[in-house]
């Protein structure tokens, strides 16, 4: 390996690592707020990428059917509950978000010819289709179990992952998709070629992280999420709804996942089940941070990206083995620094 | 009734190959293979509260180990002797699995609960790719030409012939698991879910118990893999991927993860459902693919939301339960510890500080407890009494200072090590296992007085010792006056009785120092009298008792000496009469006279 290749690999690693870092942040966020280990995080990556790809080639994205189906189910569940509790005032809101909004999304796709739109509009349309699925999934799968042990929530998360992968196969088929790059430009920096897409990915990740930071530090909802993460009961006593916090954190996770998918779709071919491995690599990063620290999780994720890119050069067949074995030294280290016997929730 | 159903089930199972078609035999074979893996998951998840998504990878280890050893033509020299025999293949698979499982367990089981499942996901993915990429394992095409099993000179080439091998092994595994759970080690394992702090304080090595069930679950999986390899005579990586590992977990959860029969039920349901869905769904959707995943995923969410304990308990409720043996266990007394010399100092707390961040919960606390006396620790709520208890018993750690017990420093020892030295305690907020009987709960207290391990327990070779442990537990239950509730579920007792149960559990450890945290709270007047009599009797036997209590009549009538705490500090110490006249104490309890 010469320096040129090493730098190329590093560039690759940092690009992927930036994506893993985003996902790691989403995982830490969801875990801190809801105690759900969000295995389906990666599915949003695939959904984001495949939806954009479908829109660009003029196909109706399967995500639309997912959105309509999930919307109808949530509406049914919520309406029944509202009837039982006699809270009729909630009904217009339920119908608006779960029936009218998906209906309008469908109308937009059938009437507006998304294939001819400019790419930023296509991206916005993609996000509008994918992101609402986050809170809907929270409502259907996790909200009824909000007080269950972490272990039960984890099993539910795995079940949701399985269902989503199956639905992904049903709606998008087994073929992979790739989208055109955001920019074909490439820049020379002292003999090193840096592709425009790399800059896009890294730039977008850093921007998104900065926005999230501002959101958590400055806004009311951001602080409410942080409060819930620190002490659920305490936050609830202060009038912060756990349901709201759960839905909001899932919304952010879906947004981060879909954006990550949109960012990597020009770099790698995405299949219906690609998201899982991508999400898990974010996980390895999150575990490095102990599922608690955002900065360490981000550094861990970059490390995963670099490890993956160099191991694909030396031993490409064993790339996945090497990346997932990274978890072991991390666990050893965590295990050596924990001494206490504690009751599991 | 339950027994009759079991016998009927076994008869039907036994006559299967004589009446069923080839298709159904094959289906039952696969159900048996899956149930073996799911059984391990029941032990792990339903009983022990741990979870693994990577069981399929252990199945793979068992299958590939025998496949490689029985088919490879060019084994390396050091391994040449092991070639050709399925039985050596079995031994190798089990050994390999045990090593891997032990390593994984040692790495993850000391961490909080979700690291093990995450570790098993990573491991499940790694091993799948490893199988697919190692040349000597045939890559993604796999290994074919695995020889058939030979048993008593018969080659088991057909599924029909293999049927009995699978089901005998499965039923043996069920038997072993049930034996294990009904034993001293089994009680320790059942305490893992929601009772680790209590179990550690009773001297149970919970980390060891966790590794044991993880190992057993992995070995069951490897055995299933070995059977699979010789039934199928061909292996490739597909059935050992992560999604299959998830399916095994689903089997256990859907069937009923808290019961060994739940594994069989779940394996049967999921296997049949999968067969049916794989036929049906591609026709509906007009495309081929593993669409059963969608149904399984959604079904799983529904089961966990609506019937978290799975289907087995729902079925079991339909059948009247056979009442287990309700005779009070009899047995020889266990050997007793030697009590320390009367009125010698057994506990010496010296200048102990306990800080939680900026809060000083124990500030320079010093006192002693002598053998054969009741020392009472009193003070207003929040004075730091229970924190002091946790420091002494090793449930919490000391920030600064020394604690000696029987002349030995214990302030840096674990709760388990301290229990072993003859100290036992109760908890202010009761910590017992609500679904276990009173008798079994108390028997956990006697954990350290037994020695028989897992292996004798699986074969029930430790019945003599078990009988003595249970008899000891029964004696302590009788002693504290809970004889009538001995076979009730602990969770069904009133709170006062649950506290009394904790005293019996502590006594079953045969301690020389007993720490009681508000034992009289929730008791009626007569019950308090009985408790006081019991404590007096223990005292005359030479036991030292450290008591935290709010009922002043109870304390003053019983205690030999009293230490009063307020805001983490000792404000008075002395005989009950002296303390009651102490101005500082009066101020703490009644407020100052302005």
φ, ψ of residue B308 in degrees (nearest 5)? -65, -20
Q: Quick check: is A343 in a domain?
A: no
Q: Are A68 and A60 in contact (CB under 8 A)?
A: no
Q: Are B29 and B231 in contact (CB under 8 A)?
A: yes
With 60 as the cut, is the pLDDT of residue A342 above it? no
With 60 as the cut, is the pLDDT of residue B274 above it? yes
Mean pLDDT of the A21-43 span: 91
- The H-assigned helical ranges of B401-494 are 415-420, 438-445, 454-458, 463-480
B397 and B504 fall within a common domain: yes
Mean residue pLDDT of chain A comes to 88
Give the pLDDT confidence score for residue B4 in this predicted structure: 86
- Give how far B46 is from chain A: nearest CA, Å: 11
Does A37 contact B115 at a Cβ distance shorter than 8 Å?
Answer: no
- Give how far B34 is from chain A: nearest CA, Å: 19
Mean pLDDT of the B344-365 span: 90
With 70 as the cut, is the pLDDT of residue A341 above it? no
B358 and B496 fall within a common domain: yes
Q: Quick check: is A308 in a domain?
A: no
- Give how far A137 is from chain B: nearest CA, Å: 11
Q: Quick check: is B67 in a domain?
A: yes
Q: Quick check: is A265 in a domain?
A: yes
pLDDT digits (tens, 9 = 90+) for A127-139: 999 999 999 999 9
Q: Quick check: is B417 in a domain?
A: yes
Residues of A in contact with B289 (CB under 8 A): 166, 169-170, 174
With 70 as the cut, is the pLDDT of residue B470 above it? yes
- Give how far A166 is from chain B: nearest CA, Å: 5
Give the pLDDT confidence score for residue A345 in this predicted structure: 45
Give the pLDDT confidence score for residue B121 in this predicted structure: 85
B362 and B477 fall within a common domain: yes
The domain boundary, picked from B194, B223, B247, lies at B247
The domain boundary, picked from B210, B231, B247, lies at B247
Q: Quick check: is B273 in a domain?
A: no
**Structural domain boundaries enclosing A104:** 40-275
Q: Which residue has the higher pLDDT, A176 or A293?
A: A176
B236 and B353 fall within a common domain: no
> What CA–CA distance (Å, rounded) separates A288 from A330?
6
Residue B583 exposure: Cα atoms within 13 Å on the Cβ side: 2
B445 and B572 fall within a common domain: yes
Mean residue pLDDT of chain B comes to 89
Which of A128-137, B121-130, B275-284 is modeled with the greatest confidence? Answer: A128-137
With 60 as the cut, is the pLDDT of residue A28 above it? yes
Of B108, B127, B116, nearest to B58 by C-alpha is B127
With 80 as the cut, is the pLDDT of residue B594 above it? no
Does A159 contact B300 at a Cβ distance shorter than 8 Å?
Answer: yes
B241 and B349 fall within a common domain: no
Q: Quick check: is A302 in a domain?
A: no
Mean pLDDT of the B442-455 span: 92
Mean pLDDT of the B104-111 span: 78
Q: Quick check: is B524 in a domain?
A: yes
- The total number of structural domains in chain B stands at 2
Give the pLDDT confidence score for residue B34 in this predicted structure: 96
Q: Quick check: is B489 in a domain?
A: yes
Note which residues in 100-139 of chain B have CB less than 8 A from chain A: 106-108, 110-115, 117-119, 121-123, 125-126, 129-130, 133
B102 and B223 fall within a common domain: yes
B381 and B526 fall within a common domain: yes
In the structure, what pLDDT confidence band is assigned to residue B527 with cuts at 50, 70 and 90? confident
Q: Quick check: is A202 in a domain?
A: yes
> What CA–CA distance (Å, rounded) separates B153 from A221?
73
Does A280 contact B121 at a Cβ distance shorter than 8 Å?
Answer: yes
- The H-assigned helical ranges of B139-259 are 159-181, 184-190, 196-201, 206-232, 242-255
**Structural domain boundaries enclosing B472:** 345-590
Q: Quick check: is A5 in a domain?
A: no
Of A168, A163, A172, nearest to A73 by C-alpha is A163
Q: Are B410 and B395 in contact (CB under 8 A)?
A: no
pLDDT digits (tens, 9 = 90+) for B352-362: 999 988 888 99
With 70 as the cut, is the pLDDT of residue A3 above it? yes
B358 and B237 fall within a common domain: no
Q: Quick check: is B287 in a domain?
A: no
Give the pLDDT confidence score for residue A253 in this predicted structure: 96
> What CA–CA distance (Å, rounded) separates B128 from B117?
16
Mean pLDDT of the B319-333 span: 76
Cα–Cα–Cα angle for A335, A340, A341, nearest 5°? 105
Alpha-carbon torsion angle A223, A228, A229, A230, nearest 10 = 90
B242 and B386 fall within a common domain: no
Q: Quick check: is B6 in a domain?
A: no
With 90 as the cut, is the pLDDT of residue B424 above it? yes
Give the pLDDT confidence score for residue B167 in this predicted structure: 94
- The total number of structural domains in chain A stands at 1
Q: Quick check: is A218 in a domain?
A: yes
Instruction: Count chain A–chain B contacts defined by CB atoms under 8 A.
Output: 147
The domain boundary, picked from B232, B247, B262, lies at B247
């Amino acid at each position: 390996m010469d320096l040129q290749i090493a730098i190329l690999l590093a560039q690759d690693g940092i690009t992927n690592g930036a994506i893993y870092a985003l996902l790691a942040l989403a995982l830490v966020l969801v875990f801190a707020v809801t105690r759900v280990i969000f295995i389906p995080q990666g599915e949003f990556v695939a959904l984001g990428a495949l939806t954009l790809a479908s829109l660009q080639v003029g196909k109706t994205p399967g995500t639309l059917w997912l959105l309509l189906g999930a919307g109808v189910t949530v509406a049914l569940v919520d309406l029944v509950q509202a009837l039982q509790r006699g809270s009729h005032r909630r009904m217009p809101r339920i119908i608006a978000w779960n029936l009218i909004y998906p209906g309008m999304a469908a109308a937009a796709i059938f009437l507006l010819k998304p294939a001819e739109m400019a790419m930023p509009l296509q991206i916005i349309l993609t996000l509008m289709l994918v992101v609402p699925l986050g809170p809907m999934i929270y409502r259907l799968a996790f909200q009824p179990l909000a007080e269950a042990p972490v272990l039960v929530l984890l099993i539910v998360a795995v079940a949701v992952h399985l269902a989503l992968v199956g639905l992904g196969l049903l709606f998008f088929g087994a073929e992979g998709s790739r989208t055109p790059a955001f920019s074909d430009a490439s820049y020379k920096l002292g003999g090193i070629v840096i592709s425009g897409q790399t800059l896009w990915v890294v730039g977008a990740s850093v921007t998104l992280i900065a926005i999230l930071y501002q959101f958590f530090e400055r806004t009311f909802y951001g602080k409410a999420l942080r409060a819930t993460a620190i002490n659920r009961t305490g936050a609830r006593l202060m009038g912060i709804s756990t349901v709201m916090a759960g839905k909001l954190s899932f919304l952010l996770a879906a947004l981060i996942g879909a954006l990550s998918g949109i960012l990597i779709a020009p770099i790698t071919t995405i299949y219906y089940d690609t998201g899982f491995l991508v999400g898990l690599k974010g996980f390895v990063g999150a575990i490095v941070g102990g599922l608690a620290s955002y900065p360490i999780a981000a550094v861990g994720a970059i490390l995963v990206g670099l490890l993956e890119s160099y191991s694909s050069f030396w031993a490409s067949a064993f790339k996945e083995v090497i990346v997932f074995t990274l978890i072991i030294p991390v666990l050893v280290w965590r295990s050596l620094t924990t001494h206490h016997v504690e009751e599991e929730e | 009734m339950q027994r009759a159903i079991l016998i009927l089930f076994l008869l039907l199972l036994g006559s299967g190959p004589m009446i069923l078609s080839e298709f159904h035999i094959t289906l039952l074979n696969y159900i048996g293979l899956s149930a073996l893996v799911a059984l391990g998951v029941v032990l792990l998840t339903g009983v022990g509260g741990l979870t693994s998504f990577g069981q399929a990878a252990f199945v793979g280890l068992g299958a590939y180990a025998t496949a490689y050893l029985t088919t490879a033509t060019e084994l390396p020299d050091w391994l040449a002797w092991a070639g050709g025999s399925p039985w050596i293949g079995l031994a190798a698979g089990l050994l390999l699995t045990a090593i891997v499982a032990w390593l994984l367990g040692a790495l993850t089981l000391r961490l909080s609960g979700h690291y093990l499942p995450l570790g098993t996901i990573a491991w499940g993915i790694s091993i799948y790719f490893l199988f697919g990429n190692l040349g000597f394992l045939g890559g993604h095409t796999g290994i074919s030409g695995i020889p058939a099993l030979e048993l008593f000179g018969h080659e088991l080439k057909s599924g029909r012939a293999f049927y009995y091998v699978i089901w005998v092994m499965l039923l043996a595994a069920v038997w072993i698991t049930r034996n294990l759970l009904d034993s001293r080690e089994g009680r320790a394992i059942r305490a893992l879910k929601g009772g680790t702090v209590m179990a550690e304080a009773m001297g149970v090595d919970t980390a060891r118990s966790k590794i044991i069930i993880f190992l057993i679950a992995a070995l069951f999986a490897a055995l299933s893999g070995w059977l699979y390899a010789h039934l199928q005579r061909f292996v490739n990586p597909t059935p050992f991927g992560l999604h299959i590992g998830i399916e095994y977990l689903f089997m256990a959860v859907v069937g009923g993860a808290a019961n060994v029969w739940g594994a069989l039920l779940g394996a049967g349901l999921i296997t049949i459902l999968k067969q049916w869905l794989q036929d049906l769904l591609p026709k509906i959707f007009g495309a081929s693919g593993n669409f059963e995943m969608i149904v399984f995923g959604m079904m799983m969410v529904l089961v966990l939301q609506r019937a978290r304990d799975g289907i087995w308990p729902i079925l079991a409720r339909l059948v009247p339960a056979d009442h287990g043996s309700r005779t009070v266990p009899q047995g020889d007394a266990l050997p007793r510890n030697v009590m320390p010399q009367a009125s010698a100092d057994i506990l010496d707390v010296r200048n102990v500080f306990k800080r939680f961040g900026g809060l000083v919960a124990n500030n320079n606390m010093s006192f002693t407890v002598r053998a054969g006396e009741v020392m009472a620790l009193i003070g207003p709520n929040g004075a730091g009494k229970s924190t002091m208890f946790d420091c002494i018993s090793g449930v919490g750690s000391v920030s600064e200072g020394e604690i000696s017990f029987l002349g030995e420093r214990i302030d840096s020892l674990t709760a388990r090590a301290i229990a072993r030295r003859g100290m036992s305690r109760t908890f202010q907020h009761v910590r017992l296992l609500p679904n276990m009987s009173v008798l079994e709960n108390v028997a956990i207290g006697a954990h350290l007085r037994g020695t028989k391990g897992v292996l004798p327990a699986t074969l029930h070779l430790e019945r003599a010792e078990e009988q003595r442990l249970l008899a000891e537990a029964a004696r302590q239950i009788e002693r504290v006056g809970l004889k009538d509730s001995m076979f009730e579920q602990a969770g069904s007792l009133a709170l006062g009785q649950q506290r009394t149960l904790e005293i019996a559990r502590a006594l079953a450890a045969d301690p020389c120092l007993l720490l009681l945290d508000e034992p009289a709270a929730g008791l009626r007047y007569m019950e308090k009298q009985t408790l006081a009599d019991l404590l007096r009797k223990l005292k005359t036997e030479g036991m030292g008792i450290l008591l935290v209590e709010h009922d002043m009549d109870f304390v003053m009538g019983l205690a030999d000496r009293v230490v009063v705490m307020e805001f983490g500090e000792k404000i008075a110490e002395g005989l009950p009469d002296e303390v009651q006249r102490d101005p500082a104490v009066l101020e703490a309890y009644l407020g100052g006279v302005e």
